[in-house]
Structure 1
Amino acid sequence: MHSAHTLPVGPIRDGALDLLKWLALFSMVLDHLRYVGLSLDGLYVPGRLAFPWFCLAIAANLHRVRNAPVTGQWRYLGWLLLFSVISEVPYRLFIEDADTLNVLPTLALGLLVARGWQQKTFIDRGLALIAVTIAAVFSAHLMFGLLGVLLPLAMLLVFRRPWYFSVLPGLVCVAANQWQILLNSGTPVALLGLVACLIAPWAGLVLLRHAHSTSPPAMRRWAYALYPTHFLLLLLLRHIIA
């Protein structure tokens, strides 16, 4: 039986986890709406929830299947890598001045790191070490950098700790979001963005604990296609507005 102070994720399909994924996707779309040509800078704040909630979804999936066969997790990694490639062109078309890859390579490397900590086998630990090395060497080219790659692991650690330990991934999330630039700018949007980064892991974990009765549409493999598709749809919207 789980402690009342922990935040478990059930072994069967979890409506709360699907809700978390949908909310992460919605937050990401809100964030990217800032680039369609309208004055929507305030959307930066809810947009800070997207990446930590995607990382939390990775951690939740690993936690749920920790004693299951590994084939499903290799498929998980394979889909992330495939859509990392597919999404790069739509991402570059929409974010014209992008100086990093799209977010999926960061999530794929983060999955390897978190799984290496969880499974402790030679191959999993080896892949985790390779992933950390790649992230360290190419940090400037990865969205959210090395700390972004470590965020799924920080999220996974929270599953075995009381809820208030969510400050750990919260601080990692803040550090991954160029906190010095945001702090120095001192604008309300920047400061609220820092707050959103800090509380996002806690908010996501509370949702996973208390929203089990929800039943949103299940996010299955087709959902990977939503990432490149949303760039193309927002690009079309930008041309319509222009």
Structure 2
Amino acid sequence: MKNFERDNSLDLLKWIALITMIIDHSWYILPVELQETFRWMRTIGRLAFPLFCLAIAANVYRQPTGYSGGLKYLGGILLFALISQQPYSRFFESNYLNILFTLGLGLVITQAIHHRTPSLITAGVVALAVAAAYRPILSYGLAGVLLPAVLLAALQARVIETKIVTWSTAALIAVLANTGAGIMLLPDLPARALASISAAALAPLLGLALLQFRVRSIRPVSTWMYPLYPIHMLLFSSLSLTWI
């Protein structure tokens, strides 16, 4: 599955993830009377988290044996996870940990599975234990932490039957990350909730299509993505306050 362009296709995936995330968060600053009309923004937002997880899986998948940049990659995520927590809590008025903590734990587990060195396996077990202990306050829960590893398995699949199983599993985990135990109420959910579930389930396949898409040129999504996360929440918080 290493036949897609490394830079441009992955940057396209990250751009779509960023755009869908911002569309999702923009819904929260709409006047209350408009939120129901623009509920479709929340549905589009269900694509963002699985696409970010796929970006992590694709990055790890491309790492050569003996890759030594994993600590720097993880450090950037965790640094901005800490920086972003106060803006995140302020914007969502939530006691949950922000998405970067979930992605950071998922990265450690995914690297452990891919490289299988003793130190990474130890780190992966610790990350899994931390995720299990803090799952009640992790954004997207334990399923969200495991999603990058499941997507890595899907990227690694060679046999068609294995591909079907792994990508189907990834779709299920993406839905569980977005809905949690709410999936048990599937027959009784309203149409807008079903639309969000469908978007989450289709996100891994959409991501796969984006990774296969050949792009001649696109602006790279690099480390500026990390500060964008807390900055856009601070901006949205300020806008929502001015409109009260």
Residue 109 of structure 2 corresponds to: 113
Q: Alignment partner for residue 150 of structure 2, among 134, 151, 154?
A: 154
Residue 222 of structure 1 deviates from its aligned partner by 1.7
Partner Cα distance (2:84, 2:136) in 1 = 19
Residue 14 of structure 1 deviates from its aligned partner by 1.6
Residue 3 of structure 1 corresponds to: none
Residue 203 of structure 1 corresponds to: 206
Partner Cα distance (2:121, 2:11) in 1 = 29
In structure 2, relative to structure 1, the CA distance for the partners of 1:185 and 1:83 (3 Å cut) is: farther
In structure 2, relative to structure 1, the CA distance for the partners of 1:234 and 1:214 (3 Å cut) is: farther
Residue 16 of structure 1 corresponds to: 9
SS of equivalent to 1:177: helix
Residue 64 of structure 2 corresponds to: 66
SS of equivalent to 1:159: helix
Does the 8 A contact of 1:9 with 1:63 survive in 2? no
Partner Cα distance (1:47, 1:148) in 2 = 15
User: Which string of whole-angstrom CA distances, capped at 9 and with x for unpartnered residues, describes residues 127-157 of structure 1?
Assistant: 0000110111110010011111000000100
In structure 2, relative to structure 1, the CA distance for the partners of 1:191 and 1:7 (3 Å cut) is: farther
Q: Alignment partner for residue 28 of structure 1, among 21, 25, 30?
A: 21
In structure 2, relative to structure 1, the CA distance for the partners of 1:8 and 1:136 (3 Å cut) is: farther
Does the 8 A contact of 1:66 with 1:118 survive in 2? no
Q: Alignment partner for residue 141 of structure 2, among 126, 132, 145?
A: 145
Residue 237 of structure 2 corresponds to: 235
Partner Cα distance (1:87, 1:25) in 2 = 16
Residue 43 of structure 1 deviates from its aligned partner by 1.2
Partner Cα distance (1:49, 1:7) in 2 = 23
Partner Cα distance (1:189, 1:33) in 2 = 18
Partner Cα distance (2:181, 2:126) in 1 = 29
1:74-223, aligned counterparts within 5 Å?
Answer: 74-96=71-93, 98-161=94-157, 162=160, 164=164, 165-181=166-182, 183=186, 186-209=189-212, 211-223=213-225
Does the 8 A contact of 1:16 with 1:214 survive in 2? no
Q: What percent of counterpart residues are identical?
A: 38
Residue 74 of structure 1 deviates from its aligned partner by 0.9
SS of equivalent to 1:178: helix
Consecutive unaligned residues of structure 2, counting only runs of 5 or more, are: none
Residue 180 of structure 1 deviates from its aligned partner by 4.2
Residue 33 of structure 1 deviates from its aligned partner by 1.4
Partner Cα distance (1:230, 1:184) in 2 = 36
More off after superposition, 59-68 vs 83-92: 59-68
Partner Cα distance (2:104, 2:22) in 1 = 20
Does the 8 A contact of 1:167 with 1:202 survive in 2? no
Does the 8 A contact of 2:89 with 2:96 survive in 1? no
Residue 9 of structure 1 deviates from its aligned partner by 4.1
Partner Cα distance (2:47, 2:130) in 1 = 25
User: Which string of whole-angstrom CA distances, capped at 9 and with x for unpartnered residues, describes residues 74-110 of structure 1?
Assistant: 11000001000000011111111x1311000000000
TM-score by length of 2: 0.89
Q: Alignment partner for residue 44 of structure 2, among 46, 59, 66?
A: 46
Partner Cα distance (1:177, 1:57) in 2 = 18
TM-score by length of 1: 0.90
SS of equivalent to 2:64: coil
SS of equivalent to 1:129: helix
CA RMSD of aligned residues (A): 1.7
